[in-house]
Amino acid sequence: MSKFIQLHILTSYPASNLNRDDFGRPKTVTMGNATRMRVSSQSLKRAWRTSDIFKGALGGEHVGTRTKEMGRNVFLALNLGLTLAEAIEGKKASGELPTLKEKTACEIGRAVGGVFGKLKPEPKKDADPGKTREALLESMEIEQLAHFSAEEIAGIGALVESCRASGKAPVKEELELLRGGNKAADIAMFGRMIAANTRYNVEAAAQVAHAMTVHKVDIEDDFYTAVDDLNRDDAGAGHMGVTEFGAGLFYLYLCLDRELLVKNLQGDEALAKKAVAALTEAACMVSPTGKQNSFASRAFASFVLAEKGDEQPRNLSVAFLQGLDGKGDLLGGAVEALRQTKANMDKVYGQNPAEASFNAMTGDGSIKELAAFAAE
């Protein structure tokens, strides 16, 4: 079995703002004395793991849920007469299940939430009565996001029903809700950190670089106006605004430690293969959702080079340290620069990983063949 799987992906995005900074502008990075557009690895990983491609390939039982509101949902389930699943989905009370008093439900919600992290402070007794309910709900949230596996959510759901039946808060032994034998593929790939119970932390098997353009980019401004449909007297705009955007050919690097992935999935080789194939397809076909309604900038990868072997992995972004000038065939030039850099690196360092690729512009190869190569 090859230890490392590496993907080198070139994707061209038209006018877009896929991943914004704190000023609402596309994120950037300076490389080779030139400003490039950037999409953060966090944005990419979220888009992949929540995609229909990823979920469809692995099923709900192998995809986790990341939230800080689990204690809040436990409270709502008990206080409104819902199952935990119904509370998570935001359903309304049907009146079929027994309810617990607010004080008891809150105690149970805080007990469950506290297993996964530090809770937000409880509302003060002299708080505004109109805001007390929301403050109470917030007090059952943990301060940091926690990633829950399907097995852990099922365990919490069972505890909710046990507490509903007894009408009491759980004892310490019942709060052993974390699981060490999870089979959530996204947790196995991207890891998790639970400060309150570090022994249940999971080291990420996948390392994802920030995607960046292979050339210099100037961020542009789009001044826009909106018209009030019912305004017949004023010729001016009903609203004015500015949106920043850019366009470019992005290079993305992804490295997966297959041995660690199998270990994180409790030795399940078949599930690991499905997970690798799903991640490969998602990385090539799923775009971040930022400003998609404004720009419709969804894009598939144009070129992908996959490698696998036991050699030490390496990012090939140095191929674009001297940004491409965009003259002539930009994609063809990027493919050539990537292949030549890989060949030179392999020669200098004596590496010889197995490889496969596809090129959507020339019609060579296919995503299914590449995913199968990475998974096997």
- All residues at 6 or more sequence positions from 50 whose CB lies less than 8 Å from its CB, including other chains: none
What is the pLDDT at residue 130? 62
pLDDT at 267: 95
83-122 pLDDT per residue, tens: 999 999 988 887 788 999 999 999 999 999 999 889 988 8
Pick from 212, 207, 208, 190: nearest CA to 39: 212
Alpha-carbon gap, residue 211 to 349, rounded angstroms: 25
CA distance 325 to 350: 31
Segments of the chain assigned E as strands: 4-16, 28-31, 34-39, 65-67, 146-148, 206-208, 211-213, 220-226, 239-257, 303-309, 354-359
Query: Can you tell me the mean pLDDT for 25-40?
Result: 95
Those residues with Cβ within 8 angstroms of residue 175's Cβ, 6 or more apart along the chain or in another chain: 111, 112, 115, 159
Express each pLDDT in 264-273 by its tens digit. Answer: 999 999 999 9
How many percent of the chain have pLDDT more than 70? 98
Does residue 129 surpass a pLDDT of 80? no
Q: What is the pLDDT of residues 343-367, one digit of tens each?
A: 999 999 999 999 999 999 999 999 9
The single-letter DSSP state of residue 289 is: -
Domain range list for the chain: 4-55+212-375, 66-183
**Are 358 and 365 a contacting pair, CB within 8 Å?**
yes
Amino acid in the structure at residue 176: E
Tell me how crowded residue 125 is: count the other CB atoms within 10 A of its CB. Answer: 6
Q: How far apart are CA 109 and CA 17, in angstroms?
A: 39
